[in-house]
Structure formats: C-alpha cells, structure tokens
Structure 1
Amino acid sequence: MKALLLRLSLVVVVGLTLGSCSKASYEHLEPRFDLQGFFNGELHAYGIVRSRGGELMRRFKVNLVGSWKDGVGTLDEQFLYDDGERAQRVWTFVDDGEGNYTGTANDTLSTAVLSISGPELTLSYDISLEVGGSNYEVRFDDWIYAIDRDRVINVSEISKFGLTLGEVILVMERGHQPLSFE
C-alpha cells in the first residue's frame, strides 16, 4: 500500500511540475507575426481536416479578405470543401492599443484571446461546428506560424471535454491569385 501511495504521489508531483511549466517563448525568432499586416487584403488558403487517428476527413480551400480600421479588423473567410459544401466565417479582431487582441466570429461561442510570441500566434475559442446536419459545440486551439511575410501555417486542435477529436492543417498565403472553387 505504501508503494502504491508513493507512486501516486510521484505521479501527482510530476504532473504538477509539468503543468506549471511556462509556454515556450519565441520572442527572439523572426519574422514576428504581424496580425494587422498579414490579415490585410486578399489571402488564399488550402487545408485538410484529420480525425483523431490521423484519417483524412475533408479537404478545403478558402478565399479570405481582411481589413483594418482604428484597431478593429475584419476577416471574411469563404470556404469550399471537397464535397461541395460552402461556408462563411467572418471574424472581428480588436486591438487593445498595447498589441493584445481579442476575436469573435459569427459562429464562435466565446471570445478568442490572441497571443503573439515572435512568429507564433495562438488563439483558443469555442465554436458551433456543423457536421452532417447536426451542430456540436467544440473547442479550437490554433497555433499559427509565420513562415515569411506572405505565408503562414496553421495547426488547429479540435476538442470536446478535453478530448482531442481531430485537427485542421492549413496553409495561408497573401498576394496570390484566388483559389478556384471548381
């Protein structure tokens, strides 16, 4: 019994130690993610949705248009999925004047708090996700990495009740021709 309690205590201590580790800082890396600069004008993206087990679930393309005025940004995303489904998400981002941002969209259930560390932008939000005619409330945790001033890679984890359901991998580019939806 003592051995079991000792092991359990060790697991708790290790878990608390790992849980208290701070997030990695990429402040020293370039290019720094420029939210207002990148999400301004026309952008184009393409990506995939994978299941928790890594199975390809969907492919999609996105045409985006971003604009900023007085620290408030709008990002209009027009999605086309490989099965012909179309969707739109319109984000509104607000700059607090100190380089911190929050965001909401037409289908988000919570306000996303954005955090930038060097080339990395992170945001988390709850969303109502339609799948097969039913809506599910899920959590998205996004990690977006600036490759250069015109390209980013976005990896999103989709979860519910802390369990990973799948992921989205997306490449976004500025200054290229709109992606054909045909």
Structure 2
Amino acid sequence: MQRFVGFSAQTPADYAGSAPALDIRRHLNGPILCEGVIYGPTGRVTSRFVADMHGHWQGNRGTLDEAFRYAGGNTQDRQWRLVLGNDGRIIAEADDLVGTGTGQQEGAALRLRYTIRLPEHAGGWSLNVTDWMYLTENGTIINRSQFRKFGIKVAELVATMRRVEA
C-alpha cells in the first residue's frame, strides 16, 4: 500500500512544471543556514541541529560543505560532491555513503536517494535514505528525509535551508 500513498509514492514527475523551479546550482550555492530536527521511530524528536553549509559550483559540478552542530554538543562535518545532468538528474557522492546517490530535480522539487553509513558511535548501520527538497516562493528549501532499515522507517528528518548573505 505504501507504494501508492504517502511519502514513498511521490515521484519527481509529480512536480513537473511547478514553480518556482528548483535549480541546485543556484539554490544550493553560497552560504546556507540549515535548521532541523530528527524524529526517531516512535515519532518523537531525538535530535535537533543547526548547520552552516556552503555550496560551490563550476558548471554542472558542485560541492556542498556542511558543518552540523547538534543540540547535545556533537559536531559533524560532511561534504557532498554533486553532478547535475542536463536532464535534471543528479549524481551524489559523500564519504559516508555506500556507493553513489542518485536524484532528479523537477519543477519546485528534488528527490535524492542514497545509502548512508552511520558513524560507529551512532550504531554504524547502513540506512536507505530518501530526501525530498521543496523550494518555496521566498527561496527557502524545506527538506524532508526518511531513513529506512530493512524497509522499516527508523528516522525522519525535517529541515529548512535558507541562503544567507555572505
């Protein structure tokens, strides 16, 4: 049933023609402030974070550096390496991914799927992730991600990403 309704039922084509159009080379470029929460399997907030991000693009190749500060005091630095195809397809790499992530931007939305390996202090599990990003009229991106193990949702993330003046 989940294949036909809910979070997993969305496809990038559902957002074709929606405006404003999301272009990661523009909207994930320069300094970005990200604020979010992570929900555990029971639906309760298990973590809160703020991240300073910085995107840099040369043509269709870009990097997105992320510096997370979690409410409990932990920090985490990550870097995405992204390639945007002329058809809106995205290839994504990061050091904590298992393999390569793939995505598609279409209209005001973007879907990215990948497998992430959690650090050992967080269990070391490999989780299948689906990220959906939605561009709002004021330029804010709303990010909703689901993390699954053996097909079962074990966490969900909701965050905002807003460009900040350098």
CA deviations 1:61-106 (Å, max 9, x no partner) are 0000100113210000000000110001100001233332211111
Name the SS of the counterpart of 1:25 in structure 2.
helix
Is 1:58 the equivalent of 2:47? yes
Unmatched segments (≥5 aa) in structure 2:
none
Counterpart of 1:127?
116
The counterpart of 1:72, out of the listed 53, 61, 80, is 61
TM-score normalised per structure 1: 0.81
Q: Give the one of 1, 4, 18 matched to 1:29.
A: 18
Pairwise CA distance, 1:28: 2.5
Residue type of the partner of 1:89?
A: R
**Alignment partner for residue 105 of structure 1, among 94, 111, 128?**
94
Q: How many residues align?
A: 161
Letter in 2 for 1:148: E
RMSD (CA atoms): 2.1
Verify the 8 A CA contact 1:65 1:77 in the aligned structure 2. Answer: yes
1:148 offset after TM fit, Å?
2.8
Bigger Cα Rg: 1
1:3 corresponding residue in structure 2? none
Q: Name the SS for the 1:135 alignment partner.
A: coil
Q: TM-score, normalised by structure 2?
A: 0.88
Q: Equivalents in 2 of 1:69, 1:156: separation in Å?
A: 27
Structure 1, unpaired ranges of 5+: 1-14, 178-182
Identity of aligned residues (%): 28
